[in-house]
């Protein structure tokens, strides 16, 4: 019996952890992708929250083109882009040397929640990986919300929190002579913004916690002691290993994650060079 082209090209999705994460095969991102296949990738992302592609030898142009199939691409307000490609962040780091925004990467966080419209998703490709170490973990913010007691969920459902990039700065930030100018720049480009503590996913309708260590300052309507205590509980709750998946990078592997319902943590346990190219897809204001 003849098989049509769409059936031949269907993705194979293999979950790799209990609450999120799946390996994707049956797709070559260097080739033109029809709308049906892109729709399958989007559905796999919605179902698994973070998806992984292996052995994808793609050019920067192809990575950008793949990202654009899901929406407008985001230009980072602070981190320099790869030369010639404003849509690509080239993230280079060593455990024993300077690392671009390393103090933000090796903490559980959701990307860019200090913006009014945080990204919808990110696509990260491994260009150069250490011989050992350098894994990344993601966790499932829907599962974290669902695991709370009903009274706690009801209490949180109408709460809002303030997110601001300055709280992610290292401990000695204010001691620097240039810190005042940098804070002024923060206020100009990305002033503090209000987001719901519990976000409803715009495509699936599922609720998930939307606070993180890097950028969430405080919960509105509570005094400082109450807010600090509640945030400490929520962040510790979110970071339980039962909600997480861990991915070991190999050269030319790609991770694509839904930034609306996950956090991630880049583990800095290596000494050799690690180079990653990231494309970020614009999102909408959380509701």
By annotation, the residues acting in catalysis are 109, 111, 264, 278
Region label for 26, one of left (φ > 0), alpha (ψ between -120 and 50) or beta (otherwise): left
C-alpha to C-alpha distance for 205 and 170, rounded to whole angstroms: 36
C-alpha to C-alpha distance for 15 and 23, rounded to whole angstroms: 6
- The pairing of strands 22-25 and 50-53 is parallel
Q: Dihedrals φ, ψ of 186, to 5°? A: -55, -50
C-alpha to C-alpha distance for 107 and 193, rounded to whole angstroms: 21
C-alpha to C-alpha distance for 261 and 143, rounded to whole angstroms: 9
Instruction: Give the 3-state secondary structure of residue 156.
Output: helix
Residue 279, token pair as written in the block: 């494309």
Residue 254, token pair as written in the block: 């790609």
What DSSP state is assigned to residue 235? H
213 contacts 108 by C-beta, under 8 angstroms: yes
Sheet of strand 262-266, all strands in order from the earlier edge strand to the far edge: 244-247, 136-140, 262-266
Residues 6+ positions from 140 with CB-CB distance below 8 Å: 19, 20, 49, 208, 243, 244, 261, 262
Which neighbouring-strand residues pair with 276? 91, 126
* Residue in the structure block whose two tokens are 């509570």: 222
């Amino acid at each position: 019996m003849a098989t049509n082209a769409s059936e031949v090209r269907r993705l194979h999705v293999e979950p790799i952890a209990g609450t999120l994460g799946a390996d994707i095969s049956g797709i070559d991102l260097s080739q033109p992708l029809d709308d049906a296949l892109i729709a399958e990738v989007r559905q796999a992302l919605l179902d698994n929250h973070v998806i992984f592609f292996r052995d994808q030898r793609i050019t920067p142009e192809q990575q950008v083109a793949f990202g654009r199939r899901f929406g407008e691409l985001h230009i980072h307000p602070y981190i320099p882009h790869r030369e010639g490609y404003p849509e690509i962040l080239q993230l280079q780091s060593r455990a024993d040397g300077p690392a671009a925004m390393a103090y933000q990467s090796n903490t559980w966080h959701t990307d860019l929640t200090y913006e009014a419209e945080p990204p919808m998703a990110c696509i990260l490709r491994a260009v150069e990986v250490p011989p050992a170490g350098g894994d990344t973990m993601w966790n499932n913010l829907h599962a974290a919300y669902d695991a709370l007691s009903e009274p706690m969920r009801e209490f949180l459902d109408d709460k809002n929190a303030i997110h601001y990039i300055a709280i992610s700065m290292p401990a000695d930030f204010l001691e620097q002579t240039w810190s005042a100018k940098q804070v002024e720049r923060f206020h100009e480009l990305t002033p503090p913004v209000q987001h719901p503590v519990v976000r409803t996913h715009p495509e699936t309708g599922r609720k998930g916690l939307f606070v993180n260590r890097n950028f969430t300052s405080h919960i509105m309507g509570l005094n400082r002691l109450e807010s600090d205590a509640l945030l400490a509980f929520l962040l510790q709750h979110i970071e339980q290993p039962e909600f997480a998946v861990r991915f070991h990078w190999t050269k030319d592997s790609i991770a694509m994650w839904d930034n609306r319902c996950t956090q991630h943590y880049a583990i800095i346990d290596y000494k050799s060079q690690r180079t990653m190219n990231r494309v970020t897809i614009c999102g909408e204001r959380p509701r």
